[in-house]
């Protein structure tokens, strides 16, 4: 190890130059944990890699980090960690919740490890990061306490089994006394074990009032790596005082029985009497409903040892603003993209995930000024690619035929879109507001 440390310092210097980092200090001295790396890990890893987090190990001190250094370098260089699986070469690149490392940060981590993963001067260690409290609502720091919380019926998750899921309804009564607009929602497993077993889930509310008006939409959708949903300012989801919640929860066992697990969904409302300008029905299920092969259920068939792509389209019959993109396939899933073919015939790649990993259900939230604002008649094209070969490390068995199904070893293809449908005036208004912002920002 000693030899490696001293022998490699020259090499590390070369890597830094190649990556174009030009700060004098980093060129002149070795990269060290306390001075260079700790702040990157605190900022980009510690929210999960802490004793209470979903990461398998804590990364809060040199002692904790050092044994993992080679694997950290590998995962960071492969862009598997932090979990952000977008293809950075195509499509929209500005996201509100981007947790990925910059090219410079990646180069720094890699060269630090090549250089022997030195600790450096302990007195230069940055102060410990503030850690999220896994028992708290993540959105409460931004929005305060929720207006109400609903709980799923209890379910005992066995210690060792295949993944498990169920669907059941609970009633929704007495939590609001008049029609209200939802501002934000968040769904999570209970603390401390439920948060670890809940892989993804939905709490879909169907509500009505006594005049027969009805509305349906999610009071929470969860997935590993996905946070709560906050609608853009002035956008809300209408709910009525009575109805039922359809719970659809999917668990992965964790080697330990989790008794009577109850997932919880929190809802933040707009003030009473407020009618938002834009109405949404929340994050929506989105599969192609036409086109070659379609993409749902019966068409899905993967031969053993094959790579296969399928494509399907869906036409927007009204203008829409798309605020987020969350791909969903299972263990053979490799890539999924969303493209728009506009009524003028032009075609635009909106977003593509090229390192899909079913362990993660990441919601990619578009930056405000780049969120796709699409006219009526736009065709949305979904392309899914599966790798059912032995080269796919997530593939449990490349000798199997794979068909559609709910289990992780079966396959699926759909995505979840944060979408707000607009009327023509709203569409023109949002377009004008955006171009005014962009003009102002460009200093004209």
Which residues contribute to the site for ligand HEC (CB under 6 A)? Answer: 41, 44-45, 47-49, 54-56, 68, 71-72, 75-76, 81-83, 99, 101, 225, 359
CB of 190 to ligand HEC, least distance (A): 18
CB of 131 to ligand HEC, least distance (A): 12
Burial readout 255-278 (b: 16 or more C-beta within 10 A, e: otherwise)? eeebeebebbbbbbbbeeeeebeb
**What is the smallest separation between the CB atom of 129 and ligand HEC, expressed in angstroms?**
12
Residue closer to ligand HEC (CB basis): 5 or 54: 54
Report the nearest approach of ligand HEC to the CB of residue 216 (Å): 30
Q: Which is nearer to ligand HEC, 55 or 241 (CB)?
A: 55
Phi, psi of 57 (to 5 degrees): -145, 155
- Taking alpha carbons only, the member of 173, 148, 181 closest to residue 242 is 173
- Which C-beta is closer to ligand HEC: that of 109 or that of 205? 109
- In angstroms, what is the C-alpha Rg of the chain? 24
Taking the complex as a whole, how short is the minimal distance between the CB of residue 374 and ligand HEC, in angstroms?
30
Phi, psi angle pair for 169, to nearest 5°? -110, 145
CB of 143 to ligand HEC, least distance (A): 21
Contact 402, 388 (CB under 8 A): yes
| Cis previous bond, 296, omega within 30 | no
Supply φ then ψ for residue 203, to 5 degrees: -125, 105
**Minimum CB distance to ligand HEC smaller for 54 or for 432:** 54
Beta carbon nearer to ligand HEC, 81 or 230: 81
* Closer residue to ligand HEC, CB minimum distance, 59 or 182: 59
CB 294, min distance to ligand HEC, A: 31
Instruction: Return the number of the residue (31 or 176) whose C-beta is nearest ligand HEC.
Output: 31
């Amino acid at each position: 190890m000693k030899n490696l440390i001293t022998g490699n310092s020259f090499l590390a210097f070369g890597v830094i130059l190649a990556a174009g980092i030009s700060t004098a200090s980093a060129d002149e001295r070795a990269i060290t944990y306390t001075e260079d790396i700790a702040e990157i890990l605190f900022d980009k890893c510690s929210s999960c890699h802490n004793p209470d987090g979903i990461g398998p190990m804590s990364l809060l001190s040199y002692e904790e980090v050092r044994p993992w250094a080679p694997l950290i370098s590998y995962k960071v260089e492969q862009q598997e960690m932090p979990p952000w699986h977008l293809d950075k070469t195509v499509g929209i690149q500005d996201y509100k919740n981007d947790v990925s490392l910059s090219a410079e940060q990646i180069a720094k981590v890699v060269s630090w490890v090549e250089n022997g993963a030195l600790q450096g001067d302990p007195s230069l260690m940055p102060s410990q990061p503030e850690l999220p409290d896994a028992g708290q609502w993540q959105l409460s720091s931004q929005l305060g306490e929720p207006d109400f919380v609903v709980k799923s019926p209890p379910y005992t998750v066995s210690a060792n089994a295949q993944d498990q899921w169920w669907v059941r309804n609970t009633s929704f009564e007495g939590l609001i006394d008049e029609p209200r607009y939802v501002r934000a929602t968040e769904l999570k497993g209970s603390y401390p074990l439920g948060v670890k077993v809940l892989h993804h889930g939905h709490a879909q509310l169907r509500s009505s009032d006594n005049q027969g008006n009805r509305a349906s939409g999610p009071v929470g959708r969860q997935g590993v790596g996905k946070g709560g949903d906050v609608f853009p300012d002035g956008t809300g989801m209408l709910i009525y005082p009575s109805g039922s919640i359809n719970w659809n929860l999917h668990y992965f066992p964790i080697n330990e029985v989790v008794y009577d697990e109850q997932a919880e969904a929190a809802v933040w409302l707009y003030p009473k009497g407020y009618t938002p300008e834009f109405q949404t029905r929340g994050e929506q299920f989105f599969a192609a409903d036409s086109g070659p092969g379609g993409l749902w259920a019966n068409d899905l068939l993967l031969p053993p040892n094959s790579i296969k792509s399928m494509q399907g389209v869906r036409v927007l019959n009204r203008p829409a603003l798309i605020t987020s993109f969350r791909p969903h396939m299972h263990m053979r899933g490799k890539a999924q993209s969303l493209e728009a073919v506009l009524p003028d015939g032009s075609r635009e790649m909106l977003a593509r995930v090229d390192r899909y990993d079913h362990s993660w259900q990441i919601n990619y939230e578009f930056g405000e000024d780049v969120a796709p604002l699409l006219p009526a008649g736009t065709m949305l094209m979904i392309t899914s690619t599966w790798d059912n070969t032995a080269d796919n490390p997530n593939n449990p068995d490349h000798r199997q035929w794979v068909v559609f199904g709910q289990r992780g070893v079966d396959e699926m293809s759909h995505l979840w879109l944060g979408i707000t449908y607009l009327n023509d005036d709203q569409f023109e208004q949002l377009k004008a507001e955006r171009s005014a912002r962009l003009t102002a920002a460009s200093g004209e």
